Amino acid sequence: MKTKVSRVLISVYDKSNVLNLAKTLEACGTEIISTGGTLKYLQDNGVDVRGVEDITGYPEILGGRVKTLHPKIHGGILAKQGTEPELKDLDIKLFDLIVVNLYPFNEVIKQTNVSLDEIIENIDIGGPTLIRGAAKNWNRVTACVDPKDYNKLIEELTENQGISEELRKYLAKKAFSHTAYYDSVIAEYLNGDYNLELPDINSLSKKDLKYGENPHQKAVFLEDPNRSFIQHQGDTLSYNNLVDIDASLELVSEFNSKACVAIKHTNPCGVGVSTDILTAFEKAYAGDPVSIFGGIVAFNDQVTEKLAQKITSIFLDVVISPSFTKEALEVLAKKPRLKVIETKVDKTKAKQIRTVSFGYLVQEKNIKISPLDSWNLMTGPKVSDDQLSDLVVAEKVVKHVKSNAIVVVKDGQTLGIGAGQMNRITASKLALEHAGEHANGSVLASDAFFPFDDVVKKCEEYGVSCIIQPGGSKRDQDSIKAASDAGISMFFTGVRHFKH
């Protein structure tokens, strides 16, 4: 059942697109009531609008703290069908639509040099009350809190001269989510937890996925409109695609030089760094030409026609880059099932949220990389600039490998990656065995300290020249002595990079 909109209350902090909505309502013959800054904005733009004080008979009081908290407002919102005689006796008229968004509390608490009084004044009281009242009475009243939904209202008002039950219910759910999130931010601030910066689920666009990690698991994607991407071709992205794309972007964004990252099941299987992007791809591919098959590759530089030709010579599932030349897209189009994603490649500081059996875990992202001047050379000869560059690459890569993790690098190329092992020596064996004879003269990075000297001794077998690790074991001296005896340079960073 659709409801005609005869009367609306509009009170918004964010005035995006509200003028278009107001003019549509005016054209439909709707009586428009408003408050404060919104009232002035609409009047200045030629909209026929009345102030809320004309309805209540009371002016705004207490410096604007009380505007809409009045029975003639809330009675008109909360009234159910069949209460018309009571409303008539009280001289209360019905509202059919409430358009409200709230003081920007979340934005204010992030500002520097903001006073507590200013923060408190940005706790909205009247707005949430209007929203909750309208959402509770969604069977008759529409509550709209998001400017992105104005076009939905405009479309229904224009085409149907009313608002459908389906849209009213959808907007009611969104309204309750919005006020719940708003209150949670205030509670977090008062608890001293406002730095968690949890996402507003209400602001995210929901997309159903074909299935989750496995076909028997249901899944949805809540897309952040501020972190969007362009898909040029290929099938709809799957749950696993999205997880792997995230892993690839997190790693490739670590590099200032031109880089290519190949990902399989969130672990890197090949990484190449060079002065040109084509060579970076060739290095990443050569690092593990078997595992890259059917995987995801990400670049931090434009994909050219020549690079696209190389890409299409092997089977890949997804290619990601900040940009593609027109000619590159034409080449990639010859592989129509290849998913081609264009998106910004930069570091994000969003919190990581994970469900556990007893609740949720929230943590800061691991964006730390130890600067060169903080490294301590514990033993061994002075290293060359090329070795230092490889150590930097190795530390950046090992940070993104499931623990226990070991990475072997030479000439800006991963030669072996030992991922997700239950002990460090096995991870080392996997990485070094994969590198084989190419490990001679390479560097090795570990995500955590060596509990024993066995990893260093394994490095000696393969001719590794330098090791970088956090240090911090009770038996560090054993590893330092083994490295010294082998003539291997070993740096301690003091920064651990566990990844679970």
CB 343 within 8 A of CB 230: yes
Residues 6+ apart with CB under 8 A from 358: none
322 C-beta neighbours (distance < 10 Å), count: 16
Catalytic residue among 2, 148, 152, 265: 265
Question: Has 265 been annotated as catalytic?
Answer: yes
In whole angstroms, give the CA distance from residue 246 to residue 298: 10
- From the number of C-beta atoms within 10 Å of its C-beta (0-12, 13-18, 19+), residue 376 rates as exposed
CB 257 within 8 A of CB 275: yes
- Listed in order, strand segments (DSSP E) in 87-229 are 97-100, 142-144, 205-208, 220-223
Residue 381 in tokens = 């000869």
In whole angstroms, give the CA distance from residue 241 to residue 263: 10
- Kindly give the interhelix angle for 454-462 and 476-486, rounded to the nearest 10 degrees: 20
In whole angstroms, give the CA distance from residue 20 to residue 467: 63
Q: Which residue do the tokens 């698991």 mark?
A: 217
CB 35 within 8 A of CB 68: yes
Catalytic residue among 72, 93, 136, 335: 136
- From the number of C-beta atoms within 10 Å of its C-beta (0-12, 13-18, 19+), residue 468 rates as buried
Question: Has 40 been annotated as catalytic?
Answer: no
| Residue 493: closest CA among 356, 399, 361, 423 | 399
| Residue 196: closest CA among 400, 361, 356 | 361
Whether cis (ω within 30° of 0) applies to the bond prior to 137 is no
Does the CA dihedral 71-74-76-81 come out positive or negative?
negative
Three-class SS string for 221-258? EEECHHHCCEEEECCCCCHHHHHHHHHHHHHHCCCCCE
Task: Quote the DSSP letter at residue 70.
Answer: S
Residue 413 in tokens = 């190329």
In whole angstroms, give the CA distance from residue 497 to residue 251: 13
Three-class SS string for 16-35? CCHHHHHHHHHHCCCEEEEC
CB 427 within 8 A of CB 404: yes
In whole angstroms, give the CA distance from residue 206 to residue 211: 14
The catalytic site residues sit at 136, 265
